[in-house]
Structure 1
């Protein structure tokens, strides 16, 4: 029988601190081979060195301990690789976000942005398929993808909308979403009314998708070009004009996704219309 290793020896062999080893034991990620019932001292054996080194590398990649546990207890190679691939995908998304933030910061440091063209118009009321839910800022991207997917599925159902009647997808953002980073967001897609009205389609459709009237609004409007990561620059420019003219009114800010991922994966070609509610004098 191979001799057991003290926690100090095991630490030196794996480059995991004693504190980390104790924590991994407490979290059920790496159990010692033996624990002295009188002293509580932990002992390990040599077969645990490789799993410990795997844990160290996965932690270096920022993988949560719950995911590491799933990797270590995976019943087969396919399951293990799926867990690791999911985390690598998350890392790639975080890297893309970091790169976008760096690019945005460099643009800000390069000088003030050119103020976008701003127009003023009244947006008429429309009947729309909509999904509304309280969402936190951290979950917005994932929720939005799911919500617009549900709307697309509902829109494709026979009898929901006349051919070619839908407008661009949009979303309503109440002011407290930006202030509190959490509020009820409404994702929607306008639809025309079929001959004879919607009839039995009124009310909930599939899950959270329902028919909703998006009210008319007078708005100051600017088009944001590029990814949504730096749409705050367009918000800032548009809000400045509204404040300077003292025409702002209460109500959610709207985003209309004129060109997005359904049209192209190239985010530099994305176009988002931002509509800020205002009072327009005649």
Structure 2
């Protein structure tokens, strides 16, 4: 038998925690001296203590811990719970990091307010182009929603085009269609020079744009906000009206995202 202090040290917990577990009936001492009230524990009780701490640290309440223990959870089941919790935490961390990057991007946009890059905006005609295409839905046009959709889409399109032995003849193109429910259809395209055929991707002619206001964005797309807003300001101040969402032409895509070069194209008409 071990005193409460020794048992706490063996279990790597505090005496206060053991007293609380006793009070709520989660882990009773093996023996309580009727005269002194001193609590004593058996080494075998470390097994239950280990499970209590492990399950609690996964984010369960103590009441939920009691229910799980009553179902006599096995070590294998605990490992499964850990794997699930790890996946949840990793997803949460990823979402939090994306949110922080979004805030940083928004701050950069705020810092550039009033410094319009008018000289960098070019009006031009965009010719139709034959493309291989895959599409998927994003929850919204928010960069944090687009980013986890567009990259896997291009990765899969490249894989399928390579497997079909179709040659890519130009820069990647992304375009977007707003849906009535607020979601956005994301379209990933690669220029090709083949006829439509029995491929596991769509081959079609992406329509040209008679008049496109264009600007070059340097750097990662998560920081594109300031460039988009500069283009929008130019469109409004020069008496044009934007028609639909932008196309993004990936002119240079090295591994270092800071070195990316992307042309933004927005179809415009005179007011």
Give the TM-score taking structure 1 as reference length.
0.63
CA contact (8 A) 2:219 2:258 kept: yes
Note if 1:123 corresponds to 2:161: no
Q: How many residues align?
A: 223
* Structure 1 residue matching 2:59: 3-state secondary structure: helix
Superposed counterparts of 1:1-282, under 5 Å: 12-13=20-21, 47-59=47-59, 75=76, 83=84, 86-87=87-88, 89-110=90-111, 112=113, 114-116=115-117, 117-137=120-140, 139-161=145-167, 165-174=168-177, 176=178, 181-193=182-194, 198=195, 201-202=196-197, 205-206=199-200, 209-217=201-209, 218-260=211-253, 263-264=254-255, 266-279=256-269
Report deviation, 1:224: 1.8
Stretches of structure 2 that go unaligned for 5 or more consecutive residues are 1-16, 28-44, 61-72
Give 5+ residue unaligned stretches, structure 1. Answer: 1-8, 19-31, 34-44, 61-71
2:235–2:242 CA contact under 8 A, matched in 1: no
Q: Structure 1 residues 205, 237: closer, same or farther in 2, change over 3 A?
A: same
* 1:134–1:184 contact (8 Å) kept in structure 2: yes
Contact 1:74-1:80 at 8 Å conserved across structures: no
* CA offset digits 1:13-54 (Å, max 9, x no partner): 39xxx9xxxxxxxxxxxxx99xxxxxxxxxxx8744433433
Shift of 1:257: 2.1
In structure 2, relative to structure 1, the CA distance for the partners of 1:103 and 1:125 (3 Å cut) is same
Could you say if the C-alpha distance between residues 55 and 170 of structure 1 is closer, same or farther in structure 2, counting changes exceeding 3 Å? farther
Residue 215 of structure 1: CA displacement?
0.4
In the superposition, relative to structure 1, how do residues 76 and 128 fare at CA in structure 2: closer, same or farther (>3 Å)?
Answer: same
Specify the SS of the correspondent of 2:108: helix
Cα distance in 1 for partners of 2:208, 2:151 equals 25
Q: State the shift of 1:87 in Å.
A: 4.4
* TM-score after normalising by structure 2: 0.65
Larger radius of gyration between Structure 1 and Structure 2? 2
CA offsets per residue over residues 153-210 of structure 1, 9 Å max, x none?
122135523xxx5211111123x36x964032221111124xxxx3xx52x522xx21
Instruction: Work out whether residues 131 and 210 of structure 1, in 8 Å CA contact, stay in contact via their aligned partners in 2.
Output: yes
Task: Give the corresponding residue for 1:28.
Answer: none
Deviations 1:204-258 (A, max 9, x none): 522xx21021100121111222222232222111111111222225344211122
Distance, in Å, in 2 between the alignment partners of 1:185 and 1:271 is 20
Task: Provide the C-alpha distance between the structure 2 equivalents of 1:113 and 1:73, rounded to a whole number of angstroms.
Answer: 62
Helix, strand or coil: the match of 1:248? strand
Distance 1:248 1:233 in 2: 19
